[in-house]
Amino acid sequence: MRHSFDDDGPRPTPNLWLRGAGILVAALVVSGIAGSLRGPEAVVASGVSVGPMPEIQGLEHRLNAAQSALEVERTKNTRAEAISRFSTAYQIPADLTAAIYDNALNAGIDPALGFQLVKVESGFRANARSSAGALGYTQLQLPTARTYEPWVGESDLVDPNTNLRIGFRFLRELIGRYHGDVRLALLAYNRGPSRINEALAYGDDPDNGYSRAVLHHRPKMPGKK
């Protein structure tokens, strides 16, 4: 059966929502108490103002901790939902989905772009190898990989996290080099920056269809319209 990324995915478990709601209630209670105790600064006999009382400082500390814990729960929930949706959309295992998602975020690229890149480059096959010697999920060539991590060998490039980490880092650098133009960055990823720069210098369009293949039908991130 064909799956759509926009279909309703799994929802957070009741326990997760209850934990988040509990943390939020605690945060509101602490906030209310802190607000009731807050008032004009205490004034000593000499007339010199002093800072908030230790009790208020302690309440503020607990409030901040509660808010931080709630934010952590929200982040975990967003990640779990995204991994579930991408896994369904591409029909790939959850562990591979998580590796692509996390490495894309760490590299600073849209995870949806990362998934499409891996799909087009390797069909989600860790042992993919091109006639030019490009390896792994993101089809890295060893010289390119060594510009980022000089110690890597061919065997390292079939390791999922190593391959994804370096491949996505390379793509992010290209996006920056072409001033946010994802189309040109993808073409440079596929053809090499020197060829793209040469074509642009002569006023030619370097497009070979690769960028459309990656960007076409790119699934949306959870929560995006």
Supply the DSSP string of 81-97, one letter for each residue.
HHHHHHHHHHT--HHHH
Mean pLDDT of the chain: 81
pLDDT at 67: 74
pLDDT at 223: 52
Listed in sequence order, the residues at least 6 apart from 69 whose beta carbon sits closer than 8 Å to its beta carbon are 23
Residue 150 has pLDDT above 60, yes or no: yes
Residue 45 has pLDDT above 50, yes or no: no
Q: List phi, psi (to 5°) of 135.
A: -125, 150
Helix 54-90 with 94-107: angle, nearest 10 deg:
120
Residue 144 has pLDDT above 90, yes or no: yes
pLDDT at 50: 54
Confidence label for 218 from pLDDT (cuts 50, 70 and 90): low
170 and 148 Cβ atoms separated by less than 8 Å: yes
Confidence label for 62 from pLDDT (cuts 50, 70 and 90): confident
The pLDDT > 70 percentage for the chain reads 72
Q: Among the residues of 91-192, which ranges form H helices?
A: 94-107, 111-122, 142-146, 160-177, 182-191
pLDDT at 98: 97
